[in-house]
Every structure is written in structure tokens, then in C-alpha cells.
Amino acid sequence: MDQLLQHLVNTIIMGGTYALLGIGLTLIFGIMRIVNFTHGELYAFGAYMMYFFATILGMNFFVSIAFAIAAGMLLGAIIEFLLLRPKRGADIDTTMLIMIGAWIVMQNTEHLAWGGIAKSITSPLPEAPLVIGPVSVSWLRVMVLVIALALIAASYMVINRTKLGKAMRATFQDSDTAALMGININSIYTMTFGFGSALAAAAGALLGPVFVVTPTMGDLASLKAFAIVILGGLGNITGAAIGGFILAFAEEIGAGYISSGYRDAMGFVIIIIVLLFRPTGLFAKAERVG
Amino acid sequence: MDTSVATSASKPILSVDHVAVQFGGLVAISDMCFDVHEGELVSLIGPNGAGKTTAFNVITGFQRPTRGTVTFRGTSLEGLKPHEVTGLGLVRTFQRTSLFEKISVFDNVLIGLHRRTSPSLFGTLLGLPRERRAEEALREEAWETLRLVGIEHQANEAGGSLPYGDQRLLGVALALAANPSALLLDEPVSGMNASETSRFIELLMRLRKMGKTILLVEHDMPMVMKISDRIVVLNYGRIIANGTPTEIQNNPEVIAAYLGGGVKNA
Amino acid sequence: MKLIASLLILAFFATVPLWLQDQYYLHTLVVTGIFMLAAMSLNLLLGFTGQLSLGHVAFFGIGAYVSALTSLGFSVTIFGMPIVHEPWPPFVGLIFGALAAGLCGYLIGKLAFRVRGAYFVIVTISFAEVVRLVSLNWVELTNGPLALPGIPPMTLGFEWSGYLTLWGKAQNYYFVLAVIVLTYVLIRRLVYSPYGRAMIALRENETLAVSVGISVTKYLVLAAVFSGALAGLAGGLYAHYIQIIDPMIFMFLNTVTMVIMVITGGKGTLAGPVVGGLIFGIAPVVLRSYVGPEVQWILYGVLMILIVFVLPEGIVPAIERWFNRGGASRSPTGRGASSGGSSGDGSALALSGSGKGNS
């Protein structure tokens, strides 16, 4: 029982960042119909930027997080502008190949720039864990959860309460009609990609200090994000948020009760089960597109 | 089935029995009943949005009806996938793309002939004589089909590079290649000029002589009146008339529907 | 014409071990051939049915592991039940590897073709990742990260004919070359048959293909089985040639290599993966003296993007068009569908294959 409680706490903490990853990816897919293979690299990029600002430049920890997110947003917008804008309207396979190419370039550039040795980011938070009854959590992880939840809430605000969000939702529903209504589709796409990338970078900046930063960390992040998005239904934002927590739970249980080696396999097992029984995702009715 | 008028004593080859289709709250077709008999040429007409294409989709298995059944040669089509419906000999064309644009005209027809052969996989891989002979026979049939519709001289052109009228003919050739006993043509002459249309009518006449049953969705009224044995008129998803061209021309309800709704399309 | 050209090219490759004495270069060519084979199998899915399999390395790796384990023997305990397998000849292993990978192709096809598109891509990636994790964690069977060493080299022959064990590079070169030629012929026959036409029809316009009676599931699953089995065969060849395999075989970059080979050469063409395979099999050897592996991969990535932007059809169709430009004009029945096979042999769009003149 105590162990299960600990697993649940871990689930909630990891689930927050997974949800960020998933929301970013599903937003890009839903609005742009692009399977973004660079998503994991933007996660890794966020983590490296965190390392750069916080450890190398020695900047304030929280300011560094904000800077890393901004850097991710900028890089995402650049990718969209350079690689996707010229191929607007191309079929999904074409854009997938472009994104795979970009993925390889980004990962190996990171490798060149930072070397293959794992980097660690020290946090200013107390070393001693927070202990509540049988459960213990490091303060760093608590902070990660709080910021992740705040970012999820902020994303919802942007999507549901702002003019930009309204334009995004209109494009999500029907890009042709949105264009007719005077929405600048090109800039919406660039902003969407930047926004989604910022969320991935945020997840990286938050988890960088929890784990270590390596050039290949993006691979698993990409694959996990795919699992989350499939779980929630491609293009479904709430589904992705919930999917993030479900994946985290499955991983905790998989690692805790099966074998820690299979922790990372849980996402794929989930994908296969979902596709077998509910190919359109668990929450197909909510706000799925197409 | 009070709305269906039997024009021959034979059993119908295709019967649409109390079919209804709803998309959410929208009723596309409500309680549609009609029969098509062997060798008949029946036209399905009606103003835009009357449910003609939906009816086609239901008959050929591309759309599940909300209620009702379609029977073809005594077999219920319920739950069959489109390629299985084709397998029974009920083949359709499409309003928009009815050909493989990047593929040559000849190869288009070869694809259409898919249902005619069932080579064994191992025979194919080993290049056995039986499979080679079957392929030869298939190519001969492809030429015959091309000659039948009259586009054999363009066999090597890419499908998409043909003039518009010939593209529509190729679409029919593709469907004919599947050896249908009943052919469903979705607005085959829309967008054709007068000479292309008259060429197409000639083709339809040849197909009738071969004993093909044809169900046609069409807006070109002079053509429909000229060639149809029987006309079924749809309006707002409902059959409002079913009879010979003369009967339809004098039916007050049909006149009202066209004058009130889509006279431009008539 | 085309046939003569093909035979000349084949004859050239058959002479290579006679004049190329450098064992390292010969080794490169053997590995190139193996990856070319994998690319040919990927092309069947990516090129001819239009389904992007990004987990292709899983089939390759499964073929490698199954073939290796069949010929090495193993003993594992599953649910308390001990299973012991005595070593079998490598050739049997090769066949088992291909069969196992083909079976996986069947399962993945059945699962993923209900949804296709982006889902198919993600399912295939996930599948490869699961297989990689299993190979890493099922230490009893696979030795995990410690690798599976001592895989016997390929042995050909029967009891009555005596055996030939392929120890040397040249011997392996000829064996791989033979398998490639055989595979090429099989794929060609498949593509120019009603089976291949059905696959291409599904790629070009699924709704229309279905309307003439082509079953989506049947032909896509068939392509997946065939593609998986061929990739498994390539994997088996790899295992017995390199003689040691580890879970790194499943790394995503191996799939990327296959994808790059196919799209650069020309997806949906018979010659595409061969041309692409040669380029990207030999490129690393040339590049490695100038740049490190990271830069090599960056170049690959950039190239992949460039291909999509500049030469989306790939090299082979571009060359073909260049050749045809000066050639015979489109006479009505002269060059004709009757000679469609010889005019556009490598092109997916000429589906009729070679046949006698007609009409």
C-alpha cells in the first residue's frame, strides 16, 4: 500500500511533464497535420539550454527555465519557417521525411556541440526530500510538478481565452474557412509550432535537472510523446494531458512490478493496446479533428 | 414496395429496400425503395443535395445505411466492404477522380481487371507459364476494353493527361474491366461538351446491347430522357416519382421540385 | 536493351573480387549489399504501397537474432518451462529468421493497417523500440548488451554434395550478390503482376482501387509480410557475416539509413534501392576519412531534407526521364503498352511488365 502510494506520487510528478510533451505534439498534429519528429530534439534542446543558462552562465534557476522555454519557442518557429512553410500543403509523408531529416541533424549537432558525456544541472533546492507519511519526494520534483501544472494551465488559457488561441482553434477546425475569415494561416502555423516546441523545451528544462542531459535523450522523449498522443487521440489536447498521466502511471507500474528494464517499453505496449481496441484514442469524442 | 414500378416480369437484379441514411441529425435519405431489373437503364435524378451520391455510396458499400437493406442478385449487401460488393459484380464510377492519374491508360485498365484473375502467389514469384499465360490473356482483355470505350489509341498516355471527356471514358473502362453485371455511373457526362456527350451516349447504347444493367446519376436532362428506361426522382432524400421518361416529364410533383429547388441543374 | 544493360552491370559486379584486393573495401561492399537488400524490402512498403515503415530495423534485427540463435542454440526458461534448442545449420537459421520477421510483418500489418497514415509510422517505430528493449533485457536468450558472439558463418550445401562454409570476404560477397539478384527478380515479378498492380493502385488512390475490387487489408498485409521477411533475410545474412550481434542493431539510425537509400534512389522503382544502397553504403567509407560520424549523420539528415525539396522522386526516375527526353516520342501504339516493361522498367508507373506486342 505504501509502495503504491509512492508510485502514485511519482506518477503525478512525471505525468505533469509528460502531459506538457504530449500537448505540444498533439497541438502541432491537430492544427498542422504534421507528425513532428523533432519534438524530442526540442525537449533535449530545452534541457541543454537549461544547462547552458543555469550551469554554464550561472544564471538564476527559474530565469534559466524561462529562457530555455523561450529558446525552444524560437527554434521551433525557425524550423517551421525554414522547413515546413515552403512545403505547405504537401502530403503527410513528405513532411514526415523532412522532420526525420531535421531530427537527425539536430541530434547530431547537439552531440557535436556538447559532446557525448552526460551533463548534470545542479538545482538550488534543498537536498533533503520532502517526507509526508510513507511517501518521500525531492523538493526538485515537487517544483517540477508545480511548474508543469502551471504551464498546462497557461496553455489552456492561451488556447481557450486569447485571440491567438481562437485563431488556432478555428484553423484546427477548418483551415480553409479560417483563411477565408482573414486569419493568417502561415503565422498561425509558425506560432503553433513555436508554441508546441516551447512546451517540449519546457519539459526538457524541467526534467534536465532531475535526470542528466544527453544528446540522445530526445529519442525516447519523441517516442513517449507519440504514445501519449495516440493514447489521447491524435489532435486531442485534453486527451494528451490525461494521456501523459496514464503513461507515467503505466511506467511506474511497469518498472515497479515487472522489471525496471521495461519501464520505457510501457509506452509502446500502450500504443499497441490502444490501437487494437480503440484506434482513435481513449477520448475520441472530446475534440478530435479529422 | 408501392413506389417501385416493375417494368418487367423478371426478378429485380438490384433492390433498395427501405434504406435510410442519417448523418448525425441530418437526414440524407429517408426510406428509399426502388428496384432495377436485369438489362435496364435506370436514371436517378433530383436537385443537388437530394441524396443521389449518398444512395450510390450505400449501394456500393462505401456508406453504411442507418436502416434498410440493399440486395444484389439475391445477396444482401449488409456489412460487405466495397471491394466485396465489387466482387459480386456491382461496380461504380466516381464523380470526381475515377482514374489513376499518374498511371498509363493501359495500366489503369489492367488494374481494373484485378477481379478477373487470381494468380497464385508462388506461381507469380516463380514466373510459371500458367501465370504468364494468364497475364497475356489479361492484356488482351485490357485492349478489348479500351477498344470498347474507344480510347485504345491513347493506351500509353498517363491517365491524367487525357482530354476531359476521355478521362471520363477511362473511368468507365476501369469499371467495365471489373466485369460488372450492373454498372453504377455517377454523373458521367457532367462537364463534357456536346460531342463528348454524344460519344458517351453511344458507349452506353453499346453497353446496353451487351446486356449490362446500368444505374445512372445524372443532371443532363435531355440525355436522361433520351436513354433511360425508367427514372427515379429523389428530392430531400425521398423518392417522389418512379416511372418512364414520359411519365416523369408530366409528373406535377417532379416539375414542382425542379422549379422550386434546382431548376438551374435541370 | 534494358536487359543487356542489367546483365553488363551484373557482370561488372561479379568481377569485383577478382580485381579488388583490399579486404576492407570488399567488406564494405558486403555490408552495403546487405543493407541494400534491407532497403529493397523497405521499398516494397514505402515505395509500392506508400506505407512508411519506420521500424524496419526491427524486421532486420529479428531476422538476425532468430538466425543467430537457431544456429547457436539456446536454453531459456519460460514460465518455469525449460526450453532447450540444439544448434541447427546456419542456412536453416537464415530461413527461420526470414519466416519470423515475415510473421512479425503479418502481425504489424494486421494491427496497423486498420488505421494507417501517421499511426502506421508510430506503430512501426514503437514495435522496433519494444523489440530493442526485449533484446536488451532478455539476457538469458540474447545476452543483452553483452552481445551474442560466435555466430557461425553461413554454410551452404547438402549431405550428398558436401558443404561450403563462407569464411572469406569474397565468398560472402558472391553469396550476398546472389541473394540480391534473386530478390530483385522476385520483387520485379511481384510488382509486374496483379499483386503489385493492386499495391500500387492502393497507393495511388485507395477509394478507386477498392471500387474495382481490390482488398486493402489483403494486399497491404501481403506487402508487409513480404517486406518483413526480406528484411529478416538481410538481417540473417548480416548476423552470419559479422558473426556477432548486439541490441545496437536495432538503433533507429539503421532504419534511417534504409529510408535514405530508398528515397534517394527513388521510392517505388525497382532500381532505386540498389542505386541508393550503393551510394549510402560506400559514402561512409569516403566520408570517414574527412569527418566524424556526427558530421556524417548531419550530412545524411541535410541530404534527406534536400532530396524531398529538390528531387522528391529520387535519382532513378530523374535519370530515366533524362534518357527518355531524347528518345522515342509517344507514338500511339508503337512503343506502346506492349513494350511498357522495357520503356519504363524501373518506374512504378509502368506496371504491365514486358510482354509481347499487341494490337
ipTM of the complex: 0.86
Q: Is residue A279 part of a domain?
A: no
C120 close contact with A: CB closer than 8 A: no
pLDDT value of position B182: 92
- Distance of CA B9 to CAs A267, B12, B16, B29, B247, Å? 63, 9, 18, 28, 20
Contact flag A108-C50 (C-beta cutoff 8 Å): no
Alpha-carbon gap, residue B46 to A130, rounded angstroms: 74
- What's the CATH number for B12-89+180-265? 3.40.50.300
Per-residue pLDDT of chain A (290 residues; tens, 9 = 90+): 678 888 888 899 899 999 999 999 999 988 888 889 999 999 999 999 999 999 999 899 999 999 999 999 999 999 999 999 998 888 888 898 999 999 999 999 999 999 888 888 888 888 788 888 888 888 888 899 999 999 999 999 998 888 888 888 888 888 888 888 888 888 899 999 999 999 999 999 999 998 889 988 988 898 889 889 888 887 888 889 999 999 999 988 888 777 777 788 888 888 778 877 776 777 654 333 33
pLDDT at position B155 over 50: yes
Strands B41-45 and A130-132 turn out to be: unpaired
- How many domains does chain A contain in total? 1
Q: Three-state DSSP class for A205? A: helix
- Per-residue pLDDT, A147: 93
| Structural domain boundaries enclosing C200 | 23-251
Burial A9-35 (b: 16+ CB within 10 A, else e): bbbbbbbbbbbbbbbbbbbbbbbbbbb
Residue B50, pLDDT > 60, answer yes
Cβ contacts below 8 Å, chain A against chain C, sum to 116
Domain boundaries, chain B: 12-89+180-265, 100-163
User: What is the pLDDT at residue C350?
Assistant: 52
- pLDDT above 80: residue B48: no
Set of cell numbers at residue C1: 536493351
Residue C85 forms beta bridges with which residues?
C74
- CB atoms under 10 Å from CB of B226, counted, come to 10
Structure confidence at residue C357 (pLDDT): 35
Report the C-alpha gap between C199 and C204 in whole angstroms.
9
Scanning every residue of chain C, which has its alpha carbon at the shortest distance from the alpha carbon of A220? C129
pLDDT of residue B259: 62
Three cell numbers, residue C27: 567488406
Is residue A44 domain-resident? yes
Residue C115 resides in a domain? yes
The 3-state DSSP class for residue C291 equals: coil
Judging contacts by C-beta atoms under 8 Å, the chain C residues touching residue A83 are 305
CB C276 within 8 A of CB C295: no
Sequential pLDDT tens for chain C (359 residues): 678 888 888 888 888 888 888 888 899 999 999 999 999 999 999 999 988 888 899 999 999 999 999 998 888 888 878 888 888 888 889 999 999 999 999 998 887 667 677 778 888 888 898 899 889 888 888 888 888 888 888 888 777 777 777 778 888 999 999 999 999 999 999 999 999 999 999 999 888 999 999 998 899 999 999 999 999 999 999 999 999 999 999 988 899 899 999 999 999 999 999 999 999 988 888 888 888 888 989 999 999 899 999 988 889 988 888 887 654 443 333 333 333 333 333 344 555 543 333 33
The cell numbers describing C186, all together, are 522476385
Shortest CB distance from C194 goes to which of B86, B102, B119? B119
Range of the domain at A35: 2-214
Q: Residues 181 to 210 of A: which have CB under 8 A from any C CB?
A: none
Distance to chain B for C351, nearest Cα, Å = 6
C336 vs B93, B94, B155: nearest CB: B155
pLDDT digit string, tens, across residues B54-88: 888 999 988 888 888 999 998 898 889 999 999 89
Q: How far apart are alpha carbons B76 and B74 in whole angstroms? A: 7
DSSP assignment of C87-116: ---HHHHHHHHHHHHHHHHHHHHHHHTTT-
A272 touches C: beta carbon within 8 Å: yes
3-class DSSP state of B239: strand
Q: How many CA atoms lie within 13 A of A17 on its CB side?
A: 28
Tell me, yes or no, whether C73 lies in a domain.
yes
- Which subunits sit against C, judged by 3+ Cβ pairs under 8 A? A, B
What pLDDT, on the 0 to 100 scale, is given for residue B10?
65
Amino acid at A222: S
The reported pTM is 0.86
Compute the 3-state secondary structure of chain C and give helix, strand, coil in percent, each to the nearest 5: 70, 5, 25
- Nearest residue on chain C to B101, judged by CA atoms? C204
CA–CA gap between residue C101 and residue C91 (Å, rounded): 16
Cell numbers 490525461: residue: A242
Match 435531355 to its residue by C-alpha cell: B222
Determine the pLDDT at residue C344: 38
| Domains identified in chain C, total number | 1
C-alpha distance from C337 to closest chain B C-alpha (Å) = 6
* C156 at A interface, C-beta within 8 A: no
Residue C158 lies in a domain: yes
Strand partners, B29: B21
Amino acid at B33: C
CB A21 within 8 A of CB A224: yes
B53 in Cβ contact with B235 (< 8 Å): no
> Is residue A154 one of the residues assigned to a domain?
yes
In chain B, residues with a C-beta closer than 8 Å to the C-beta of C205 are 97, 100
Q: Can you tell me the distance from the alpha carbon of C357 to that of C243, in angstroms, rounded to the nearest whole number?
A: 50
Helix (H) or strand (E) holding C84: strand C81-85
C86/C69 Cα distance (integer angstroms): 10
What are the CA-CA distances from residue A61 to residues A22, C47, C185 (Å)?
Answer: 24, 49, 62
A27 reaches C (C-beta below 8 A): no
Are chains B and A in contact at 3+ CB pairs closer than 8 Å? no
What part of C 286-315 touches A (C-beta under 8 Å)?
Answer: 292, 294-295, 297-298, 300-305, 307-309, 312
Distance CA C39, CA C54 (A): 12
CA-nearest of B98, B87, B214 to B165 is B98
Q: Are C298 and A105 within 8 A, CB to CB?
A: yes
